[in-house]
């Protein structure tokens, strides 16, 4: 009798173990099923988001109302192949609303060049609102021309860029958002440093350091306008308020206009510029 009861108890315990194992297995399978289903849902959502971001018109319409994007002001000089590459690249950036090419050559841009650039913009911005292209013609050959006031400029943000420098659109859009957080400052990709040169015994004499100074010290005091965002009001200030002596120096030496603009902004705001890190390609 006891043997029978013991056998029954063992049978019941074994049945319980089997049942528990089965339940656990079922729970595990259910959990795995839920995880897989959740993963698929998240993947589909992310894929949808990704597809949305790759469509410039969607991102522009959703996040940048008309007039809230930025204008590119591009300086160029007899480098038509580089100009074509740059315009072709930046035309696809989501926040771009207009391109203004600073033209200081003796001859006006050719019809073929103008038609080519307009065709490139139309092909790159298909499905987006139209990006305007204009040549800002100057009779005088001076680097001051890149900061002339642009009548009727619709955007507050200006992205000043040289024709031989390429930054990914993702980096440009990020720099634009950084600038929006401090629209009175300059936000750019090319930092530089300057300091008082004590070796000459003059308190008002400064030394200018290139990229290696920034790299070695980890500090900077300006960003150059060869790749920087700033408010359009500084074009008016540079045109109307920059000391004539500085403009004459820039024209004569064909240099330092970017330093002059950086100092103009710093003097107006009393605030430092913002260095935005980003990878760039230099077109040769």
Catalytic one among 162, 163, 164, 258? 258
Q: What CA–CA distance (Å, rounded) separates 10 from 231? A: 84
Helix (H) or strand (E) holding 206: strand 206-209
Residues in the chain, overall count: 284
CA distance 76 to 258: 15
Contacts of 252 (CB under 8 A, 6+ apart): none
Query: Computed from CA positions of residues 26, 27, 32, 35, in that sequence, does the dihedral angle turn out positive or negative?
Result: positive
Is 141 among the residues known to form the active site?
A: no
The full DSSP string for 83-141 is HHHHHHHHTT-TTEEEEEEEE-SSSPPPHHHHHHHHHHHHHHTTTSPPPEEEEEE-SS-
Active site residues: 258
């Amino acid at each position: 009798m006891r043997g029978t009861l013991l056998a029954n108890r063992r049978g019941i315990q074994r049945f319980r173990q089997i049942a528990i194992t089965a339940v656990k297995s079922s729970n595990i399978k259910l959990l795995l099923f839920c995880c897989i289903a959740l993963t698929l849902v998240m993947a589909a959502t992310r894929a949808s988001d990704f597809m949305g971001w790759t469509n410039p018109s969607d991102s522009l319409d959703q996040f940048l109302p008309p007039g809230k994007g930025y204008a590119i002001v591009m300086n160029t000089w007899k480098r038509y192949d580089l100009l074509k590459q740059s315009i072709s690249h930046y035309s696809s950036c989501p926040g771009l609303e207009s391109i203004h090419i600073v033209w200081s050559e003796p001859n006006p841009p050719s019809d073929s060049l103008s038609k080519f650039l307009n065709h490139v913009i139309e092909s790159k911005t298909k499905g987006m609102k139209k990006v305007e292209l204009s040549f800002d013609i100057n009779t005088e050959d001076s680097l001051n021309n890149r900061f002339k006031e642009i009548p009727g400029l619709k955007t507050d943000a200006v992205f000043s860029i040289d024709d031989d420098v390429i930054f990914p659109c993702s980096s440009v859009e990020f720099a634009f958002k950084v600038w929006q957080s401090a629209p009175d400052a300059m936000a750019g990709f090319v930092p530089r440093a300057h300091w008082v040169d004590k070796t000459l015994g003059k308190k008002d004499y400064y030394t200018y350091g290139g990229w290696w100074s920034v790299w070695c010290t980890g500090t900077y005091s300006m960003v150059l306008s060869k790749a920087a965002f700033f408010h359009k009001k500084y074009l008016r200030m540079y045109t109307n308020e920059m000391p004539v002596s500085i403009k004459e120096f820039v024209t004569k030496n064909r240099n330092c206009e970017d330093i002059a603009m950086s100092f103009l902004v710093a003097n107006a705001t009393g605030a430092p510029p913002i260095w935005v890190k980003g990878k760039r390609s230099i077109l040769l």
